[in-house]
């Protein structure tokens, strides 16, 4: 049994007796130098934040950022400075030109990941605040479930359809069918060209996730220094995840020549079920890992 505690950005385990197997994690690693021992999970973002547990020692000391002169911690600290220690400005500044007609229908194509369910609750509050009504349609995590969900949405005849979490191609031509029927299609976190899919507007595209990947790397370098040994877990079925991982790797290579970094993939279908155990098993197989992040 494994029990973990997340405190001050560090996840500590009190026991470890899981088998040291790979657990289905797909991994890619680049070794640049010696890593520090123990396992600390920090900076976990939405996808695995509530489910990841890690095992090993819980030392709170950070690597000396000046040791060896191979980590450009000054550049890393400068990169993350605008995003730390203060609240960002609210991203929307333009008010609606007029109120929506009462009861305007919205539909949400909710993917099968737990993160999409969390997003759905946020969308429900937002739609209610502007006077609309939201219907959640389960899109699952496969092409067949996604395309069936589109058919259900088409029958609902909403004014707007929200979609996030899945590659647009999984819907086949479904999103374009919705658009051709006069339904506005708004996607969130699609890190590719939206034109072929009939999407009206996409919020948070590729540049956003490239930046996020770089900032994750710079946070590691600024806080863990030249001996950091880090893993970034991603979900390949979610379009922005590979983008973040690539940017993360490139920034680590740019600003820390003595660090060790690797990326690993966790399937979307395992989120909320076996993903946490998979991550624990992966970390047990790599006991020198000092920091774990997720897209």
Domain definitions of the chain by residue range: 7-58+208-294, 104-205
User: Per-residue pLDDT for 77 more than 70?
Assistant: yes
Q: How confident is the model at residue 247 (pLDDT cuts 50, 70, 90)?
A: very high
- Cα 178 to Cα 60: distance, rounded to the nearest angstrom: 52
Determine the CATH number of domain 7-58+208-294: 3.40.50
User: Which burial class, exposed, middle or buried, applies to 58 when counting CB atoms under 10 A from its CB (0-12, 13-18, 19+)?
Assistant: middle
| pLDDT tens track for 81-92 | 999 988 888 878
pLDDT band per the 50, 70, 90 thresholds, residue 208: very high
Pinpoint the alpha helices (H) of the chain. 73-80, 114-129, 143-156, 174-180, 206-224, 240-255, 275-285
SS3 content of the chain, % helix, strand, coil (to 5): 35, 20, 40
Answer yes or no: is pLDDT of 46 > 90: no
Out of 3.40.50.300, 3.40.50.1580, 3.40.50.2300, 2.30.110.10, select the CATH number for domain 104-205: 3.40.50.2300
- Give the largest Cα separation in the chain, rounded: 64
Q: CA-CA distance, 26 to 262, in Å (whole number)?
A: 11
What pLDDT score does 69 carry? Answer: 53
**Antiparallel, parallel or unpaired: β 41-44 and 229-234:** unpaired
Average pLDDT of the residues in 184-211: 92
Lowest-confidence segment of 89-93, 184-188, 231-235, 289-293 by average pLDDT: 89-93
The torsion angles phi and psi of 214, rounded to 5 degrees, stand at: -65, -40
Quick check: pTM over 0.95? no
| Continuous H helices in 11-139 | 73-80, 114-129
- For residues 205-226, average pLDDT: 95
């Amino acid at each position: 049994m494994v029990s973990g505690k997340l405190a001050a950005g560090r996840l500590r385990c009190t026991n470890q007796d899981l088998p040291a197997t790979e657990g289905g994690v797909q991994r890619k690693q680049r070794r640049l130098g010696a890593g520090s021992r123990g396992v600390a999970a920090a900076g976990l973002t939405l996808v695995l934040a509530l489910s990841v547990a890690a095992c090993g020692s819980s030392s709170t000391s950070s690597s000396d950022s000046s040791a060896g002169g191979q980590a450009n911690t000054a550049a890393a600290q400068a990169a993350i400075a605008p995003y730390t220690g203060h609240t960002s400005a609210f991203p929307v500044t333009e008010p609606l030109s007029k109120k929506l007609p009462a009861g305007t229908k919205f539909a949400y194509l909710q993917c099968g990941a737990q993160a999409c369910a969390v997003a759905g609750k946020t969308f429900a509050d937002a739609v209610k605040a502007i006077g609309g009504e939201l219907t959640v349609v389960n899109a699952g995590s496969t092409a067949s479930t996604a395309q069936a969900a589109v058919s259900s949405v088409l029958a609902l005849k909403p004014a707007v359809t929200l979609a996030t979490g899945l590659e647009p191609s999984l819907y086949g031509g479904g999103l374009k069918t919705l658009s051709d029927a006069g339904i506005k299609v708004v996607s969130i976190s699609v890190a590719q060209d939206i034109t072929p899919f009939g999407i009206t507007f996409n919020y948070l595209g590729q540049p956003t996730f490239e930046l996020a990947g770089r900032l994750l790397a710079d946070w590691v370098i600024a806080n863990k220094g030249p001996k950091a040994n880090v893993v970034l877990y991603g979900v390949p079925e979610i379009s922005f995840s590979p983008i973040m991982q690539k940017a993360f790797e490139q920034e680590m290579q740019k600003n820390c020549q003595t660090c060790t970094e690797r990326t690993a993939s966790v399937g979307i279908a395992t989120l909320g079920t076996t993903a946490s155990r998979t991550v624990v098993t992966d970390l047990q197989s790599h006991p020198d890992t000092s920091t774990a992040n997720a897209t």
